[in-house]
C-alpha cells in the first residue's frame, strides 16, 4: 500500500477507497466506446470536509482528481484524461439536507439524483421545474449543474437546470470551502436568493464541467406541479424538420407557455419502428415520418383548454399534419413522456437502435431556425464520409447511423440538439478490430468540428469536446485566455479535471 493510498484511507476509512483493478476499470469510461482511461484510486467521500482534505493531499502529491456524479455523461466528463489520478465518486453524498416549504427551496447534497429528489418533492405536489438531464433517474444534481443540463422534462417552461439554482457549497481545487448567493452572508440562516452580496460567483461553477471546484451542496428553487395537464402527439409531413422548426418558432413568438415540446426526426421513427423500439407506432403510423409532441400544464380547465386550442391551431395548420389519438395505444407518446416519467427513458433513443451500437454524439444548444440546416448538413456529412463508414460496415454487417435524437425546446427561441452517429466498438464478434477505433475517432472529431462551425453552443464538454473546441480554434482568443487565467487562479497546480480545455 502506497503512502498516498494510506493518507487517503485515513480520511474516508477502508470501506470507501479502492485501488483494485476491477474497481478502477469500472470507473474508466462513460457511455462512449472510445475514451477509456484507468484511474489509480477510486474514493467516496461523505462530506465537503473530507473532499477538502483529499484535495489538499492531491495538491501536495501533484496527482489529478476527476469528479464523478452519476457517470452518465458523454465526452468522457467524469473519468481520467489519460491513465492515472483519483476518481472522486460523489454517490455517498446523496442526502436531502433541508426543505424550506415557506420559500420553496430544497437544499441537497450534490451527489443526489434528480430522480430521488423529485420523488421526495412529489409527496408535496412539487417538482424541480427542469428535472435535470435525460438520464435524470441516476444523474446527479452536481453533474447537471456542471453541464447546464436539459432533457429531463420541463425545459421549454423552465430552461436549463441551472436557472433554478439559488446557492452552492463548493470545495475549491486547493481545498477551501465557500458558499455562494445569500449564504455569502454568514448571518443568513437559510438559502433564499442567488443574486446579491457581490458578483454571482455561483455562475463560475455552472457549466464549468468540473474544472473550477467540487460542488458539494446545492439549493434549488422548487415549484408547485399544476393540477391540469394535456399532451398531444402529431405525425408531420415530408419536410418534418422544417415544419417542426416553424411550429416551435410560432409557439415562442405567440408567447404560448408549454412545458415540453419535442421533434423526433424521420430516421429515428423509421428505424426505431423497424427495431421494435416504438410499439405504439408500429400499427398507428401508416407513414413512418417525423413526430412532434407537446405537453402543457395549467391551473384551471379554462386555461388548459385555451392553451390546447392555440397550439392545435398552429400545428394542424401545417400541410398534412395528423393528430394521433389521446391514449398511448393510439401512438400518443406525449402522455407516456409526462405521466409515466418517460422523459428519463427515451431521450437518447438514437443510441440503442441496434444491439452493440454505441453513441459518438454531441449535445449542444442552437436557435430554432438553425437546426433543419444542421440536420441536412449531417446527411451531407454522412455521404462525404461513406468510404470510411463502409469499412466498419464490412466488418459488422450493419452501417453506423448518422442523425439526431429528439430535438427539444428549451428556454428562449432555442433547442437542444443531440446529434452525431452510433457505431460499434473495436471488439466485435469475438475479435478486436483496431481499425474500428481509428475510424470512429476520426469520424467523431470530424462531425464535432462540422457541427461546431454552425456556431452552436456546447454545454456538455468533458474530455472530448472541451479539447476539440481549442483544437478547432473555435474559442475567441480573449475568452479562452480569461477562462485559462481563472483556472490558474483557482487551481494553480491543475489538480481538478487535468487535461480538459487543453489548459495544461
Is 96 within 8 Å of 108 (Cβ atoms)? yes
SS3 label, residue 18: strand
What is the model's pLDDT at position 341?
86
Is 500 within 8 Å of 211 (Cβ atoms)? yes
Convert the pLDDT of each residue in 268-277 to its tens digit: 898 888 888 8
Convert the pLDDT of each residue in 253-287 to its tens digit: 999 999 999 999 998 898 888 888 888 898 888 77
Convert the pLDDT of each residue in 457-471 to its tens digit: 999 898 999 999 999
pLDDT band (50, 70, 90) for residue 137: confident
What is the model's pLDDT at position 349?
59
Q: Check whether 62 has a pLDDT greater than 60.
A: yes
pLDDT band (50, 70, 90) for residue 481: very high
Q: What percent of the chain clears pLDDT 70, i.e. is strictly above it?
A: 98
What is the model's pLDDT at position 343?
86
Answer whether CATH 3.40.50.1260 is correct for domain 1-225+473-504.
no
Query: Number of helices and strands (H, E) in the chain?
Result: 17, 22
What is the model's pLDDT at position 491?
98
d(CA 477, CA 485): 12
Across 143-152, average pLDDT: 93
What is the model's pLDDT at position 160?
96
pLDDT band (50, 70, 90) for residue 73: confident
User: Is 332 exposed, middle or buried (CB count within 10 Å of its CB: 0-12, 13-18, 19+)?
Assistant: buried
Strand order in the sheet with 165-171: 96-100, 105-109, 214-221, 165-171, 177-179
How many CB atoms lie under 10 A from the CB of residue 406? 24
Q: What is the mean pLDDT of the chain?
A: 94
pLDDT band (50, 70, 90) for residue 74: confident
pLDDT band (50, 70, 90) for residue 362: confident
Convert the pLDDT of each residue in 7-18 to its tens digit: 999 999 999 999
Among residues 395, 438, 445, the alpha carbon closest in space to that of 420 is found at 445
Query: Grid coordinates representing 454?
Result: 454552425
pLDDT band (50, 70, 90) for residue 241: very high
Convert the pLDDT of each residue in 315-335 to its tens digit: 999 888 999 999 999 999 999
User: Phi and psi at residue 295, in whole multiples of 5°?
Assistant: -130, 135
Write the DSSP string, 23-50.
Answer: HHHHTS--SSSS-----SEEE--SSHHH
What is the model's pLDDT at position 352?
63
Q: Check whether 1 has a pLDDT greater than 90.
A: no
Across 38-64, average pLDDT: 98
What is the model's pLDDT at position 42?
98
Across 157-172, average pLDDT: 97
d(CA 394, CA 399): 8
Model-level pTM? Answer: 0.94
As a three-state string, the secondary structure of 176-240 is CEEECHHHHCCCCCCCCCCCCCCCCCHHHHCCCCCCCCEEEEEEEECEECCCEEEEEEEECCCCH
What is the model's pLDDT at position 347?
65
What is the model's pLDDT at position 350?
60
What is the model's pLDDT at position 348?
64
**Helix extents (H) in 62-154:** 114-122, 141-147
Between strands 260-264 and 291-298, the pairing is antiparallel
Q: What percent of the chain clears pLDDT 90, i.e. is strictly above it?
A: 81
Pick the CATH number of 228-344 from 3.30.70.3450, 3.40.50.300, 3.40.50.800, 1.10.3720.10: 3.30.70.3450
How many CB atoms lie under 10 A from the CB of residue 451? 22
Domain boundaries defined on the chain: 1-225+473-504, 228-344, 358-464
What is the model's pLDDT at position 147?
93
Query: Grid coordinates representing 222?
Result: 422548487
Residues 6+ apart with CB under 8 A from 457: 364, 365, 366
d(CA 132, CA 347): 12
Among residues 413, 385, 409, 419, the alpha carbon closest in space to that of 399 is found at 385
Amino acid at each position: 500500500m502506497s503512502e498516498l493510498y494510506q493518507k487517503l484511507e485515513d480520511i474516508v476509512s477502508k470501506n470507501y477507497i479502492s485501488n483494485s483493478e476491477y474497481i478502477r476499470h469500472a470507473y474508466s469510461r462513460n457511455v462512449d466506446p472510445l475514451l477509456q482511461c484507468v484511474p489509480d484510486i477510486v474514493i467516496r467521500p461523505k462530506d465537503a470536509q473530507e473532499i477538502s482534505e483529499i484535495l489538499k493531499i492531491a495538491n501536495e502529491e501533484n496527482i489529478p482528481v476527476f469528479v464523478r456524479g452519476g457517470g452518465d455523461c458523454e465526452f468522457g466528463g467524469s473519468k481520467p484524461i489519460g491513465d492515472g489520478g483519483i476518481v472522486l465518486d460523489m454517490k455517498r453524498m446523496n442526502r436531502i439536507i433541508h426543505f424550506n416549504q415557506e420559500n420553496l427551496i430544497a437544499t441537497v447534497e450534490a451527489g443526489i439524483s434528480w430522480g430521488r429528489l423529485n420523488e421526495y418533492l412529489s409527496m408535496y405536489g412539487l417538482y424541480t421545474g427542469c428535472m435535470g438531464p435525460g438520464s435524470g433517474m441516476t444523474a446527479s444534481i452536481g453533474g447537471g449543474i456542471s453541464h447546464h443540463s436539459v432533457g429531463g422534462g420541463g425545459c421549454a417552461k423552465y430552461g436549463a437546470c441551472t436557472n433554478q439554482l439559488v446557492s452552492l457549497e463548493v470545495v475549491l481545487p486547493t481545498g477551501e470551502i465557500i458558499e455562494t448567493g445569500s449564504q455569502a452572508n454568514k448571518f443568513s440562516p437559510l438559502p433564499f436568493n442567488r443574486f446579491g452580496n457581490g458578483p454571482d460567483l455561483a455562475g463560475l461553477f455552472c457549466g464549468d464541467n468540473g474544472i473550477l471546484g467540487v460542488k458539494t451542496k446545492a439549493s434549488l428553487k422548487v415549484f408547485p406541479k399544476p393540477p391540469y395537464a394535456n399532451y398531444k402527439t402529431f405525425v408531420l409531413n415530408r419536410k418534418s424538420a422544417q415544419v417542426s422548426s416553424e411550429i416551435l418558432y410560432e409557439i415562442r413568438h405567440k408567447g404560448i407557455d408549454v412545458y415540453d415540446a419535442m421533434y423526433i426526426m424521420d430516421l429515428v421513427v423509421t428505424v426505431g419502428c423497424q427495431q421494435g423500439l416504438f410499439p405504439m407506432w408500429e400499427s398507428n403510423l401508416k407513414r413512418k415520418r417525423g413526430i412532434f409532441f407537446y405537453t402543457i400544464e395549467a391551473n384551471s380547465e379554462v386555461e388548459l383548454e385555451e392553451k390546447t386550442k392555440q397550439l392545435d391551431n398552429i400545428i394542424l395548420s401545417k400541410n398534412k399534419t395528423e393528430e394521433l389519438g389521446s391514449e398511448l395505444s393510439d401512438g400518443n407518446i406525449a402522455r407516456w413522456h409526462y405521466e409515466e416519467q418517460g422523459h428519463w427513458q427515451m431521450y437518447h433513443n438514437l443510441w440503442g437502435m441496434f444491439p452493440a451500437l454505441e453513441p459518438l454524439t454531441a449535445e449542444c444548444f442552437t436557435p430554432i431556425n438553425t437546426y433543419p440546416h444542421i440536420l441536412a448538413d449531417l446527411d451531407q456529412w454522412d455521404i462525404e464520409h461513406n468510404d470510411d463508414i463502409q469499412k466498419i460496415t464490412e466488418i459488422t454487417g450493419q452501417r453506423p447511423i448518422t442523425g439526431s435524437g429528439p430535438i427539444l425546446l428549451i428556454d428562449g427561441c432555442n433547442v437542444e440538439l443531440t446529434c452525431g452517429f452510433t457505431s460499434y466498438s473495436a471488439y466485435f464478434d469475438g475479435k478486436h478490430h483496431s481499425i474500428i477505433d481509428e475510424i470512429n475517432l476520426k469520424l467523431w472529431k470530424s462531425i464535432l468540428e462540422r457541427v461546431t462551425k454552425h456556431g452552436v453552443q456546447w454545454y456538455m464538454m468533458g474530455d472530448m469536446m472541451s479539447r476539440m473546441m481549442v483544437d478547432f480554434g473555435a474559442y475567441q482568443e480573449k475568452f479562452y485566455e480569461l477562462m485559462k487565467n481563472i483556472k490558474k487562479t483557482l487551481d494553480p497546480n491543475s489538480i481538478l479535471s487535468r487535461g480538459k480545455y487543453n489548459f495544461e
